[in-house]
Structure 1
């Protein structure tokens, strides 16, 4: 499962819904992933984000690479959107055949709508 910023914020705040989701994901053996740009969206102060820092140690964090850039740009053109971070999550999910957990389902639906049957499944959060 690819995690968007909203879930990381919920983890950082210690929200019950995030803790419940994590317990279920661990029980199922789910692999949790996010991207470095998503981490940049939510990271503000190491001294106040110990919970988030600890959680990030258990998650696969994928960099934004030069290989990703053309794919992200093409997604943005085809969807007529402009959020590079969201498009990168979609590109990663598409490449890994994984779903996306997000509170921004309309934005992600726009990015995935033209990808056909291999489009990543969008899981609403919370």
Structure 2
């Protein structure tokens, strides 16, 4: 089973109880899948713990892989090649490509642009757009 990876738009959709967010990963979750949320994505979406009850509940069921030196350098190189300013989206793209993950995102064009700059490894990831 390919991993499911959330970007910040997906976390915001979860917090707002967006129906499309909760439908998309249902079969993955019922099959025992544990979604991934890169640590920088949590930083981008989290603002006030007192208000993020829904988000905290979601994150408690996710794995949050750390951003180590090697990943950080790879992200920096990718955003440089792709000429984009967002290392958070870069982190999502790099992890998705490395893991062959499905990315649940509200920014499918941005993530696809980054994946396109990764060569053949970028083709291993799949995008699920939040609509």
Give TM-score, length-normalised by structure 2.
0.86
Q: Which runs of 5+ in 2 are unaligned?
A: none
Backbone CA RMSD of aligned residues: 1.6
The whole-number CA distance in structure 1 between the counterparts of 2:93 and 2:57 is 25
Residue in structure 1 matched with residue 86 of structure 2 by the alignment: 83
Q: Does residue 42 of structure 2 align to residue 72 of structure 1? A: no
Moved over 4 A (4+): none
Alignment match of 1:121 (pick from 103, 126, 131): 126
- Would you say how many aligned residue pairs link Structure 1 and Structure 2? 126
Residue in structure 1 matched with residue 13 of structure 2 by the alignment: 10
Give TM-score, length-normalised by structure 1.
0.89
CA contact (8 A) 2:20 2:130 kept: no
Q: Deviations over 1:8-64 (max 9, x none)?
A: 111112222222224333234333111111111111111111111011010111222
Q: Does residue 111 of structure 2 align to residue 105 of structure 1? A: no
The whole-number CA distance in structure 2 between the counterparts of 1:44 and 1:111 is 26
Q: How does 1:14-53 map to 2 (within 5 A)?
A: 14-53=17-56
